Amino acid sequence: MEVKVVKDILGANERIAERNRQLLDSNNVFAVNLMSSPGAGKTSLILQTLKRLKGKIRIGVIEGDVSSSLDAELVAKEGVPAVQINTGGGCHLDANMTSSALGNMPLKDIKLLLIENVGNLICPAEFALGEHRKVLISSIPEGDDKPFKYPLMFHQADAVLINKIDLLPYLKFDAQAFSRTIKKMNEKVKIIQISCTTGQGIEEWVSWLLKQIEKG
């Protein structure tokens, strides 16, 4: 009985995600679902991306959080349309919440939509939002064993950004072994080492992102 309920929820979610995708496509908007642990650097990456792409491409941002509107406020200061979703305790965004947020987003005025999911390495991986790409930010201080413990999200990601690479001298983290492990689980994944503090790797990320938008 429990399994049935869960399956129905996921089936309904897939259908709404497909409708979101059609809405995005009909408005020529490319959407990226950004996922990570709490504090791995999703908002910092969005701010870096806005900085690099200002004047080049019009961007909108959906911010997902259990509580607070801190992130949407930070993003709105950069002068881009930002919509906050508060899940009210929920541990992930779903297609239905995303659908509501899309209704408040000026889709005709943007080309790229960055969706910051709730900070959680588990459930966000199970709920499609209608996005074109899934990007996972994994930060050095979390440790290099995370792909073994949270395999689904690493398996699904189109790109894994290894953030806080500037902290590497102070931590035990085998970046080569980490990348090898991820490639074994997901051979097509793009892996980029970045630091949202120093800016390292952000050019490479932005260039990968622009190529994905071209591909659609």
For binding to a second copy (CB under 8 A), which residues are involved? 5, 37-39, 65-68, 70, 89-91, 118-123, 126, 139, 141-143, 145-146, 148-152, 164, 166-167, 170-171
**CB of 150 or CB of 205, closer to a second copy:** 150
Whole-angstrom distance, CA of residue 58 vs CA of residue 188: 28
* Cβ neighbours for 139, distance < 8 A, ≥ 6 positions apart: 36, 37, 39, 40, 41, 162, 163, 164
| Smallest separation, CB 9 to a second copy (Å) | 8
| Minimum distance of a second copy from residue 24's CB (angstroms) | 26
Rounded CA separation 77/166 (Å)? 26
Nearest approach in angstroms of CB 120 to a second copy is 6
Nearer to a second copy, 33 or 44 (CB): 44
Q: Identify which of residues 113 and 121 has a Cβ nearer to a second copy in the complex.
A: 121
Min dist. Cβ of residue 162 to a second copy (A): 13
Structure tokens at 23: 């809405």
Are 128 and 100 in contact by the 8 Å Cβ rule? The answer is: no
Please say which residue, 148 or 207, places its beta carbon nearer to a second copy.
148
Query: Residue 216, class by beta-carbon neighbours within 10 Å (0-12 exposed, 13-18 middle, 19+ buried)?
Result: exposed
Q: Judged by CB, which is closer to a second copy: 7, or 56?
A: 7
Q: Measured from the CB of residue 214, what is the shortest distance to a second copy in angstroms?
A: 33
Enclosing H/E stretch for 35 = strand 30-36
